[in-house]
Homo-oligomer: A and B are copies of this chain.
């Protein structure tokens, strides 16, 4: 029997797509990668995922797991491959309120999990612009970051257990719901962030946190980036770590957003160099219970910091969201980052991380080397400032300069002790960087692990690891 016939047998009616029906699985969101798969398999449960892998493994045909197509590193490129789409495995199986956890299938869309947790007055504290299409399996496969990492950690920090299917179709059950479990190698953390090259994650047990009782959200403009960090540190000290997000947008970014969305208001009457979206979340009644004078403590902390720092000139402007609409406007501006970056042709996204106090140096040095290589290039910068994570996008004037720019920006990052891929992962796009920058012994270890767990290189071949 041909592989296609085997797969058709393993899946039910709409479970196997070929020909024109594969269109949605033949490109990713960035538009930078397009391909022609062999077929698209859409299993309904773990047993079907296992059957698909067993068949493909027998035929030695590559399988590319795919989730919401929203990755930014080309991780779901699949020329000639079986695209293994988890989109029909989209059940939130359980929300256990007392234990504060969710049991989900990997195809659940992030915003659907937000809604399910919210109904129990809980939150899955991972969010980013693509939350309406990104699926949990993709979040886990890439160890997604986003805007709440500052307070709650990366995706891997929110996972108690998972289930995965290996290259040959065997199912590994790591569905622990425990906070302590030292029983051998931590295969959970090995699979998380492995970008579908070691196994296909099919289900997960995720931590939930109490829904904050209130948010205080504001746009703050400071004289300098160091002044912005001072705002962050003062707020963290005063609140004991209640800052949920601290996002940097330079003037250029706000201008690009305004150009693309002409109807929207600018955050400030005047333009400023350093604009921060800051959000505090109150998790305890003491922060939202009005004091004798009617003031809400959480708001008071922000106002105190801003007042002091405006007096000494470090903060130059500030607007506090007065309602949900204003809060949403602030977030929409920030969450348009990928849309803004990829709207331009010849764009190169650098997703880097450095120590918080080195972000200013990074931006200065990166701009200098960029001008040296491609003087006509334009940048679009946005940062999870509280994590030291900068999305430094370059619209190349000279597309030939792509690799030279990538390498030069990495040189700056590495000289500052940073990471060349903070949250987007490696996929196809950053494989040259892996070859150049990752510790060679670490690469050897990764290759040995890959060969041990997927000896025939079935799972997402050609990704993450350099040749």
Chain A residues with CB under 8 Å of chain B are 98-99, 142-143, 145, 149, 154, 156-157, 166, 170-174, 176-187, 189-190, 192-194, 198, 210, 237-242, 282-287, 297, 353-357, 384, 387-389, 417-426, 430, 434, 437-439, 441-446, 448-449, 451-453, 464-465
Report if A186-B156 is in contact (Cβ < 8 Å); known contacts: A149-B179, A177-B417, A387-B180. yes
Report A199 CB to chain B, min CB distance, Å. 9
The answer to whether B388 and A422 touch across the interface, beta carbons within 8 angstroms, is: no
B389 touches A180 (CB 8 A): yes
Q: Which residues of B contact A242 (CB under 8 A)?
A: 240
Verify B449–A185 contact, CB threshold 8 A.
yes
Asked if B186 and A424 sit within 8 Å, CB to CB, the answer is: no
Nearest 6 interchain pairs by C-beta: A240-B284, A189-B189, A452-B452, A240-B283, A180-B422, A448-B452
A–B pairs, 16, beta carbons within 8 Å: A98-B357, A99-B356, A99-B357, A166-B441, A179-B387, A180-B388, A180-B422, A182-B419, A183-B434, A183-B438, A185-B193, A185-B194, A186-B192, A186-B193, A240-B240, A240-B286
Residues from chain B with Cβ under 8 Å of A166 in the complex: 441, 445
Q: In the complex the two chains form, is A157's CB within 8 Å of B154's CB?
A: no
Decide yes or no: A173 and B422 within 8 Å by CB, A179-B353, A453-B449 being known contacts. no
Closest residue of chain B to A194, judged by CB?
Answer: B185
- Flag if A284 contacts B238 (CB, 8 Å): yes
Q: Judge whether A190 and B193 touch: CB under 8 Å.
A: no
Assess whether A442 is in contact with B184, with CB atoms less than 8 Å apart. yes
Residues of the B chain whose Cβ atoms lie less than 8 Å from the Cβ of A193: 182, 184-186
Q: Which residues of chain B come closer than 8 Å to A142, judged between CB atoms?
A: 182
Closest to A282 in B: B240
Chain B residues near A182: list those with CB within 8 A.
Answer: 142-143, 145, 193, 419, 421-426
- Tell me whether A172 and B445 are in contact (CB under 8 A): yes
Residues of B within 8 A of A357 (CB): 98-99
